[in-house]
Structure formats: structure tokens, C-alpha cells
């Protein structure tokens, strides 16, 4: 198989490239050259936002194109149009954020969607991803486009600062503000499992939208943070705290305490996605202990300093705010 990866040196794109190379596929990647790409791929340089950013793709044919773009849909539109006659299938890594709120989880992939346009420039994330979907369909048609509506993505290579923040915090030890309840569900997918299924599905000729994330009951906050303690070998003490106390202290879910949202509408939106279609089509998700341990091992190879995407905010509660919240518990 011949793969063209648009990107490929970052988080999910790198996982796709690594998986394809391990299969013995011929891999070409187009990227801006800001990061070192995986060894073994043919590397082309181009900035997709520049007027001549696709010049390096002037010739060549591929079986599969994978695109993870999450900003202006017009960028996906231009790439897909250029490649429509020279590639068999376009795989677009989208997001469950394309579903309109309040999300109807029972409707699964047939749920109501946010508006979007393939011609949009810079728009909010949900509209950008929906516009990207429409761009892929517009160029390749529904029969040759595969839309991966991913949820939360974790694992080695993460450059957002979610699981990596928790690993770094727990590795420092001491009392840790652990947002409860322990049994609160957490739905995510390891980037490597997403990549593996994407390539399997493309090879099999699947098309259309798939909710690609672990099952809602895949793990819990308790299991994830316990796995962080075990992986780091830390003597950290998890101080489980009721959601009401955390919110009363002015601590922001999801950003100051990454991955966590209190029980309620937002939590259900983020952690209740129906995934039966993808699992019936072969999706498999490794246990949380493996994702956490492998992410910690990867971080150790970077001297514990995780990469940070420049277009995303830095996550995590300050040491002072955490200490104040812990002190208030007595």
C-alpha cells in the first residue's frame, strides 16, 4: 500500500506513519519541517497554508491519504481536490465535536451535526472539523472518504499536555489533588490504536463516518491516576476530592485538571460516545495501564519534558492553587 500522510511528524500523524512503516507500506509525508519526521518515509516539504504549499505534491499516486488537519477547512479542501484523481481513498481524522449539542448518543454516527463549509477559513474547532469532513467528501465522494470522529486521544507523542501533565505532576510526588469521584468514567483512544484501525479500515475500503474512541466504560479517573502512580514509581498520595469542592475553589475542569470534567452534561458529552460501529469493524483499544506506562517511557526519553503544540494553551493547575485547595480540606 502507498500512503500519503499530510503532516506525519506530530502526535497522531506520527502514529499513523509509524504503523504504516511497520506494515511495510510505502510512506510519503508532507510537512513543514518543524519536527524531525520518522525514519523510513519519503519526506516532502510544504506549508499547506501558503499559496504554493502543495507544490511538492505536483505528481505521484497513492492508495490512501490521511489528513489530521484541525484548522481552516479550506486547507483540507485544497489538498483533497488536488489529490482526488491521484489517490484512491481520503481518510480524514475528524472529531466527535462535529455533533450538535445536546448530543444524541443513541443516534451514534447519524446524530445531528454542527454546520460547516469546506470553504471556511479560521472558524471554531467544531465547525473546522465539520468543514474538513465536507471538504473530503466534496472531492472524493462518500464512497472514497473515511471520516474518523475521534474523541479524546492519548498516548506516546501527545503534545497537548493532558496525560503528560498528570504523569509529570504525579512523578513529583507529595499530596496530589485528585478530582473525584474515583469511578468517574473516562473515554479516550490511544493514538496508536486509532492509527492502526484507520489503516486497517482504509485497506478494507471502508467509508463514511465512524466514532473512533474507546468504549464509554473503558476506564475511570481512578484507574488512570493509579496507573500514573504505578508507571512513575512515585510516592504521590492521591487526595480524592468531591467535584463540588473543586468547583467551589474556582478550579477549572479540563484545563486546570486535564482530562477531568465533573458529572453532568459536559462529562456525558465527552465520555458517552456510541462506538459500536467502529468496534464491529475491528477497532480494539489497549488497556489504560499500557497507554500510561508507554507514555511515561516515551517521556523519559525526552528527559521528562513533553512537547507542547504552540496553537494550544498550556494545561494544568499551578502548584499554589493546588496547595491552597488541598489545605482547605484540613
330 pLDDT tier (thresholds 50, 70, 90):
low
**Model pLDDT, residue 286:** 98
The stretch 301-324 carries a mean pLDDT of 91
| Cβ–Cβ under 8 Å, residues 153 and 164 | no
Cell of 311: 496553537
pLDDT bucket at 308, cuts 50 / 70 / 90: confident
Distance, in Å, from the CA atom of 108 to the CA atom of 104, rounded to the nearest integer, reads 7
Provide CATH 3.40.50.720 ranges for the chain: 2-150
Cβ–Cβ under 8 Å, residues 155 and 192: yes
Strand partners of residue 4: 28, 65
Does position 293 have pLDDT exceeding 80, yes or no?
yes
pLDDT at 84: 98
CA distance 327 to 214: 36
pLDDT confidence bin for 35, thresholds 50/70/90 = confident
Answer for the pair 132, 194: CB distance below 8 angstroms, yes or no. no
pLDDT in tens, 210-235: 999 999 999 999 999 999 999 999 99
Residue 33 corresponds to which cell in the numbers above? 519541517
For residue 272, pLDDT over 70 is answered with yes
For the entire predicted model, the pTM comes to 0.96
Cα dihedral 27, 28, 33, 35, rounded to 10, equals -10
Of residues 280 and 33, which shows the higher confidence score?
A: 280
pLDDT for the residue 328: 87
- Count of other CB atoms within 10 angstroms of residue 13: 26
Q: Model confidence at 9, in pLDDT bands (50, 70, 90)? A: confident
Beta bridge partners of 42: 28
Q: What is the mean pLDDT of residues 276-284?
A: 98
pLDDT band at 160 (very low <50, low <70, confident <90, very high): very high
| Helices and strands (H, E) in the chain, number of each type | 11, 15
What is the average per-residue pLDDT within 243-250? 95
| Pairwise CA distance, residues 25 & 135, whole Å | 26
pLDDT of residue 306: 85
Q: What does pLDDT average to over the chain?
A: 96
At residue 198, φ and ψ (nearest 5 deg) are -60, -45
Q: Tell me the Cα Rg of the chain.
A: 20
H-run or E-run covering 20: helix 11-22
Cα(229)–Cα(171) distance, integer angstroms = 7
Is the per-residue pLDDT at 21 higher than 80?
A: yes
For residue 197, which of 100, 124, 93 has the smallest C-alpha distance?
Answer: 93
For residue 102, whether the previous peptide bond is cis, meaning omega lies within 30 degrees of 0, is yes
Between strands 87-95 and 175-179, the pairing is unpaired
User: Which residues have C-beta within 8 Å of that of residue 311, sequence separation ≥ 6?
Assistant: 71
CB 79 within 8 A of CB 6: yes
CATH no. of 2-150: 3.40.50.720
- Burial grade of 34 (CB within 10 A; 0-12, 13-18, 19 or more): exposed
Amino acid at each position: 500500500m502507498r500512503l500519503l500522510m499530510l503532516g506525519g511528524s506530530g502526535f497522531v500523524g506520527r502514529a499513523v506513519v509509524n504503523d504504516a512503516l511497520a506494515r511495510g507500506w510505502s510512506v510519503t509525508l508532507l510537512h513543514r519541517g518543524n519536527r524531525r519526521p520518522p525514519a523510513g518515509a519519503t519526506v516532502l516539504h510544504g506549508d499547506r497554508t501558503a499559496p504554493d504549499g502543495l507544490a511538492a505534491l505536483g505528481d505521484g499516486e497513492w492508495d490512501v491519504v490521511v489528513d489530521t488537519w484541525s484548522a481552516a477547512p479550506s486547507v483540507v479542501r485544497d489538498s483533497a481536490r488536488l489529490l482526488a484523481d491521484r489517490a484512491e481513498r481520503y481518510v480524514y481524522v475528524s472529531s466527535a465535536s462535529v455533533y450538535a449539542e445536546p448530543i444524541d448518543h443513541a443516534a451514534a454516527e447519524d446524530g445531528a451535526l454542527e454546520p460547516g463549509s469546506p470553504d471556511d477559513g479560521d472558524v471554531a474547532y467544531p465547525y473546522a472539523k465539520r468543514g474538513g469532513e465536507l471538504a473530503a467528501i466534496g472531492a472524493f465522494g462518500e464512497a472514497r472518504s473515511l471520516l474518523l470522529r475521534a474523541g479524546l486521544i492519548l498516548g506516546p507523542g501527545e503534545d497537548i499536555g493532558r496525560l503528560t501533565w498528570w504523569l509529570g505532576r504525579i512523578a513529583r510526588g507529595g499530596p496530589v489533588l485528585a478530582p473525584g469521584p474515583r469511578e468517574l468514567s473516562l473515554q479516550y483512544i490511544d493514538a496508536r490504536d486509532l492509527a492502526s484501525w484507520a489503516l486497517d479500515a482504509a485497506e478494507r475500503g471502508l467509508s463514511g463516518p465512524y466514532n473512533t474512541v474507546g468504549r464509554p466504560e473503558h476506564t475511570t479517573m481512578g484507574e488512570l491516576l493509579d496507573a500514573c502512580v504505578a508507571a512513575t514509581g512515585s510516592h504521590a498520595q492521591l487526595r480524592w476530592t468531591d467535584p463540588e469542592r473543586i468547583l467551589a475553589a474556582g478550579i477549572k475542569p479540563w484545563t486546570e485538571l486535564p482530562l477531568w470534567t465533573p458529572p453532568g452534561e459536559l462529562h456525558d458529552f465527552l465520555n458517552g460516545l456510541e462506538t459500536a460501529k467502529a468496534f464491529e469493524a475491528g477497532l480494539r483499544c489497549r488497556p489504560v495501564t499500557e497507554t500510561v506506562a508507554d507514555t511515561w517511557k516515551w517521556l523519559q526519553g525526552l528527559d521528562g519534558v513533553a512537547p507542547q503544540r504552540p496553537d494550544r494553551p498550556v494545561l494544568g493547575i499551578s502548584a499554589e492553587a493546588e496547595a491552597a485547595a488541598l489545605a482547605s480540606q484540613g
